[in-house]
Amino acid sequence: MRDRNNLKQRRRSLNLILAGLLVLLGCYSAHAEDFKSLKEKGKFFIEKKWYEDAQKDLHNAVKDYPEEAAQDDEVHFLLALLYYNQSSVGEAVEELNLALKLKTQEKYVELMRTITAEFGALSINTAEKIEQVKIRIKTSERFISPRKKLVFNRWKNRFLNENFDLPLQNIYLPIGQYDMTFELPLIKQPMVKEVNIDADGKQNKLYLLLIHPPQNIIAEGRDDEIYLSWAQPGPGTVAGYLVYRKVADSDEEYTKIAETAKLNYTDKDLGIGKSYSYRLKAYDPQVEKTDFSEQVLATTLSLLPPTEVVALGEDRQVNLFWVTAAGAQVSSYRIYRSSSTEKDFKLIAEVNDQTSYVDYDLERGMTYIYKLKAYNSAGSSSPYSEKATAKTMAISAPQKVKIMAESGGIELLWKKVSGASAYNIYRGGKKLGKYELIAQVSGREIQYVDLMESPEAGVDFWYKVTTLDKDEKETQPSVPISLSQPQVSDDEEQETLTGTDEWLEDGLNTAPAEQLNYKIYFSKAPDEEFVETKGKDLFSLVSGLKPRQKLYYKIVSLDSRGNPEASISFALLVDKINQPPVAVTSGDRQVLANQSFILDGAGSTDPENDKLVYKWVQRLDNPNEPSSLLLSLDPKVEVSFDVPGEYVFYLEVSDGELNSIQTVIIEVIAD
């Protein structure tokens, strides 16, 4: 009885499960029938050319039944057929490719052949995304097919009424030739491109290169190298530059010699007097290259440098000697000096076609390094000469030399010089005449007596004392001294003329009191007549002085009657105070794009009329590039820019020691 009940229970459960399965199968069948029904209705409407009705049903089939549609090749084919008949070629190709992925049927392949025989896909590519681009399209083709004409006009109207973002993919156009004009935010002038749409389903690609060839290229011939610099072309992103070279005025092809991301390049090891022509290309991040730039020419320096340069260190000076290179037509030499390293060389002098130079007023015990350049009358220069090094003497001439009359002759006394190995004593008949060596004493001595019957016999003699170091190198002599003319010490003589009348030594630490009567006389040479100054200071009416020039002074005190009472004579060494030059430019201005203009610094001046060296530099604001670009070493430079904006330049003028800088701002506006 229990077994019979269990059997009935199992049968009831199986019937319930079977009923549920039948319900599910019925629902699925109805679901599938709905998708199939929509597809069949769409197919019927396409055959009747009721394309709007067909589009509605086929779109609903794909939208409402995505799983079935994803596996059904026919619905994609029907959509492709629908789009093709509606002249939406791009959408037709997309649906047809989905159908062919699911199943390859001859009618699918045949439709693809038909489309690709009439239309081609165009992709417009750039190295970077650009938004809101206006595109215009035109063609000289005459489309007989209404479908081709409709497709072209649709794209033409879209381009007229919409802005597009680039890159832009798969624009299907009828096969033929087109002119396309692009108006981009970055570029002032529209870009016009010729496009050829090919058959056979080819991918037609149009690449918009958003940069120009390098511009404002400057080529500067140097020693045995040529320095090239240029402005960043823009307006798109530049990834690098290619440098090409050939021998100037030759028929050879340009050869690529370098690739750089900088705005300059130095072509080295070219030899003396060699001329080359250069052209450049820029490329963007996709390594698409611009056309060639304009060519620039430059020649390496044609003069050979001086040879056999010798530097000899002495007391506070270095004597330089050199030999002119064989065959060199030299008009002048420029001499450069460094006192710390072999890098920081400064121009210290320019001399005519002589082959020696004395560098005065140096520090004692210092090492100096020298190099030279030769220049011809055309302004061309040689490479640098080999360097020459010299060390000035560490010791000085005897200081505070005194002269006294003794019963046995004339006695000289001086202050001991540290490091002296000996002293030489010289005697002459005139202060500025010829002197002869009369004695040498040990470095331990600080006096010497010139023996004679009486001091009166040597009243007209003049004396100098020099110091010798351990290498027997001799210093400059002390100030000439004589019993007939009192002299102040060397310390006083070496004081610098600064425009004040500070009194320096032995009870003359302040200016004479106002109530004291005195007269001041001066002379620019010891053998010239002394002239009274009109004022009571040391520097009245003294003008036209030269560096290291001595001024000779005599101060005469007067008694109550105005008669001379006492006098003192001394010399001061003038140390010229160099004033910086004044940089003068043609000023800020506003110019049109692509309009050449002159940066003019020729009006710059120097208070001492020293020869000026000019340097025009452009400031660069690109953080990935050097902060500045050397434009020219001439007082005037011609430049132009095709991109509107504000450009900043600096003019630096130097007299070889001091410099002055003036800023010029040029605003470039659209023409």
CATH number of the domain to which 52 belongs: 1.25.40.10
Tokens at 646, concatenated: 């504000």
Distance CA 360, CA 625 (A): 43
- Domain total for the chain? 7
Q: Examine the domain organization and report whether 616 and 647 are in the same domain.
A: yes
Distance CA 363, CA 581 (A): 26
Q: Examine the domain organization and report whether 197 and 221 are in the same domain.
A: no
Q: Examine the domain organization and report whether 460 and 517 are in the same domain.
A: no
Distance CA 167, CA 131 (A): 9
Tokens at 311, concatenated: 């530097």
Residue ending a domain, choose from 299, 317, 339: 299
- Using alpha carbons, select from 233, 301, 218 the residue that is nearest to residue 265: 218
Distances in whole angstroms, Cα of residue 237 to Cα of each of 191, 283, 627: 17, 9, 18
Q: What's 197's domain CATH number?
A: 2.60.40
Q: Examine the domain organization and report whether 220 and 283 are in the same domain.
A: yes
Q: Examine the domain organization and report whether 62 and 97 are in the same domain.
A: yes
Domain membership of residue 479 (yes or no) is: no
pLDDT at 459: 74
pLDDT at 512: 39
Domain membership of residue 645 (yes or no) is: yes
Q: Angle at Cα 411 formed by Cα 410 and Cα 414, nearest 5°?
A: 145
Helix 73-85 vs helix 106-118: angle between axes, to the nearest 10 degrees? 30
In the chain, what are the helix, strand and coil shares in percent, each to the nearest 5? 20, 40, 40
Q: Examine the domain organization and report whether 100 and 125 are in the same domain.
A: no
Distances in whole angstroms, Cα of residue 399 to Cα of each of 126, 199, 315, 446, 486: 80, 101, 14, 10, 15
Q: What's 343's domain CATH number?
A: 2.60.40.10
Three-class secondary structure of residue 168 per DSSP: strand
pLDDT at 504: 31
Domain membership of residue 202 (yes or no) is: yes
pLDDT at 5: 58
Q: Examine the domain organization and report whether 129 and 201 are in the same domain.
A: yes
Domain membership of residue 629 (yes or no) is: yes
Tokens at 370, concatenated: 């020298």
Distance CA 36, CA 560 (A): 140
Tell me which H or E stretch contains 114.
helix 106-118
Q: Examine the domain organization and report whether 534 and 561 are in the same domain.
A: yes
pLDDT at 576: 53
pLDDT at 611: 85
Residue ending a domain, choose from 407, 435, 468: 468
Which residue is it, tokens 């036209």? 544
Q: Examine the domain organization and report whether 623 and 659 are in the same domain.
A: yes
Q: Examine the domain organization and report whether 525 and 500 are in the same domain.
A: yes
Q: Examine the domain organization and report whether 455 and 530 are in the same domain.
A: no
Three-class secondary structure of residue 659 per DSSP: strand
Burial class (CB in 10 A: 0-12, 13-18, 19+), 181: middle
Domain membership of residue 58 (yes or no) is: yes
Q: Which residues of the chain have pLDDT under 50?
A: 19, 21-30, 488-515, 536, 540-541, 623, 626
Residue ending a domain, choose from 548, 573, 598: 573
Distance CA 340, CA 289 (A): 46
Domain membership of residue 653 (yes or no) is: yes
pLDDT at 240: 94
pLDDT at 502: 30
95 CB contacts (<8 Å, ≥6 apart)?
76, 77, 79, 80, 83
Q: Examine the domain organization and report whether 550 and 610 are in the same domain.
A: no
Domain membership of residue 539 (yes or no) is: yes
pLDDT at 509: 33
Q: Containing domain of residue 159, as a range? A: 119-207
